[in-house]
Chain A
């Protein structure tokens, strides 16, 4: 079995468009949440959202490469450029080696809506043009990036709801561990627009704390009232240890364990047992014990039921060792398909820079969340290993354990 390491990371998020900006935002506890007035006009219960502008790729990529990319593929392209640069993998290397891509993404609403709108207006499919099909499929990220970077390895998209990005890293880890690939571009991407979140808003799942947008996402806090949708993209370059050593790559961390489970119950209501089992399986896979986990990046999205059940599950597994816990969704909002990947990046940035980012807006615990050792402010802290949780609709759960390689400050 191969050891699997992280040799590159890149991020395009609502709290920063590159690793340096994001590191500073994490340290400062900066929120990326705003009000989007368009959503109110459209009839949303909540106009709160994370927001980042679309990258300008005209002049960077040719037309054929650009017109098939949905917004989240553009975010992912920028994140992947940064990750490949950190990994010191150039196009020549990609041309000479079999490198794969496994990216998390679970929707592409705007191209679907726009192309059907054209059809309804023009009543002629020929008027839709050639780009929408490649934007509208969930695999828009992996299909576009694999062409742009001329990848010749594994190539598909992981759709696992709000655990997509985490499962993508988990699956990449398993493939490299098995010796099937040496390098895989993993990550998660999430579109930001009203079209993709309208039906989610309909579930009463979003915070309506619109008077103070930066205080709306408050995971684990007693007064939490729902999640804030967000998006962007995060890319993690996974590589076999031997490949990284042979290339002389800088190793940022080692993927030690991947635990997965399915609740097998309700389509939207989370439970305790599924997440608990995912964390226990990740620990078992890593060969580590609970006391070796210094920090947990919680899935906690700021919903009453989700945070409560995750707190229960974390307390069940880590109640005796009490690692520091924070949910970076307090700053970023819920990055959904992207979150499992971006939160590995956020946590690795903390690990490399010896701090735990604050769970902002954690003012008062409730009976259960008070059992956790939640970092409500930025905490100087040595992290040797962290666990990152991601859970999604349908009861899909993923837990990843990453251990430090103490050789680089990002």
Chain B
């Protein structure tokens, strides 16, 4: 995945994956949505997110780094930071 990938492009891709792969309702996709409480993403879904992110963005998520990821905005920021660290 190129580091030139723009933030908006990354967010759109994440949203598409959440809708298509995790089957989150499109209407539920909001930046402030809590991943567990609002989107219903449980510990098993996180396991699938590891696979989905590696297959689509080419890097491995680290479980310890996900502890602070509570909202969809946190998740976007984490993925963006991993793709474009600078």
> Do A and B assemble together?
yes
Assuming the contacts A126-B60, A127-B54, asked whether A63 and B23 have C-beta atoms less than 8 A apart, the reply is yes
A293 to chain B, nearest CB (A): 49
Tally inter-chain residue pairs, CB-CB below 8 A. Answer: 25
Are B44 and A126 in contact, CB atoms less than 8 angstroms apart? no
In the bound complex, how far is the Cα of B23 from the Cα of A396, in angstroms?
44
Q: Is B47 in contact with chain A by the CB < 8 A criterion?
A: yes
Interface residues of A in 219-273 (CB under 8 A from B): none
A62 partner residues in chain B, CB cutoff 8 A = 23
Determine if A64 is an interface residue (Cβ-Cβ < 8 Å). Answer: yes
In the bound complex, how far is the Cα of B21 from the Cα of A64, in angstroms? 11
B22 CB–A CB distance under 8 Å: yes
Is B23 in contact with A130, judged by CB distance below 8 angstroms? no
Interface string of B19-38 (1 = CB under 8 A from A): 00011000000000000000
- Give chain A residues whose Cβ lies under 8 Å from the Cβ of B54: 126-127
For the complex formed, measure the closest distance between the CB of A57 and the CB atoms of chain B, giving whole angstroms: 12
Contact between A64 and B51 (Cβ–Cβ < 8 Å)?
Answer: no
Neighbouring A residues of B42 by C-beta, 8 Å = 64
State whether B45 touches A129 (Cβ < 8 A).
no
0/1 interface trace, chain B 44-56, chain A, CB 8 Å (1 if under): 1101101100100
Chain A residues, CB < 8 A from B51:
126-129
Task: Give the residues in chain A near B44, CB-CB below 8 Å.
Answer: 64, 130
List of A residues within 8 angstroms of B60 by Cβ: 124, 126
Q: How many residues of B contact A (CB 8 A)?
A: 11
Nearest A residue to B21, CB-CB: A63
For A68, the closest partner residue in chain B by CB is B44
Kindly provide the distance from the CB of A59 to the nearest chain B CB, expressed in whole angstroms: 10
Give Cα A131–Cα B47 distance, bound, in whole angstroms.
9
Q: Is B50's CB under 8 angstroms from A126's CB? A: yes
User: In the complex, which residues 50-109 of chain A have their Cβ closer than 8 Å to any Cβ of chain B?
Assistant: 62-64, 67
Interface-centre pick from B22, B42, B44, B45 (highest chain A CB count, 10 A): B44
Query: B residues within 8 A CB of A63?
Result: 22-23
Closest partner residue, chain B, to A128 (CB atom): B51
User: Which residues of A are found within 8 Å of B48, using beta-carbon distances?
Assistant: 67, 129-131
Q: In the docked arrangement, what's the CA distance between A124 and B59, Å?
A: 13
CB distance from A20 to the nearest CB of B (A): 33
Q: Beta-carbon contacts of A106-131 to B below 8 Å, as 1s and 0s?
A: 00000000000000000010111111
Hey, which chain A residues are within 8 Å of B47, CB to CB? 126, 129-130
**What's the Cα separation between A334 and B76 when bound, in Å?**
52
List, in ascending order, chain A residues with CB within 8 A of B45's CB: 64, 130
Closest to A127 in B: B51
Distance, CA A67 to CA B54, complexed state (A): 19
CB B22 to nearest CB in A, in angstroms, measures: 7
Which of chain B's residues have a CB closer than 8 A to the CB of A67? 48
In this complex, which of B42, B47, B54, B60 has the most chain A Cβ atoms within 10 angstroms of its Cβ?
A: B47
| Bound CA span A127–B54, Å | 8
Can you give 9 A-B contacts (C-beta < 8 A)? A63-B22, A63-B23, A64-B45, A67-B48, A124-B60, A126-B50, A129-B47, A129-B51, A130-B44
> What residues of chain B have their CB less than 8 Å away from a CB belonging to chain A?
22-23, 42, 44-45, 47-48, 50-51, 54, 60
Question: A interface vs B, CB < 8 Å?
Answer: 62-64, 67, 124, 126-131
Q: Which 3 A-B pairs have the closest CB atoms?
A: A130-B47, A130-B44, A63-B23
Q: 7 more A-B contacts (CB under 8 A) besides A124-B60, A128-B51, A130-B47?
A: A62-B23, A126-B51, A126-B60, A127-B54, A129-B47, A130-B45, A130-B48
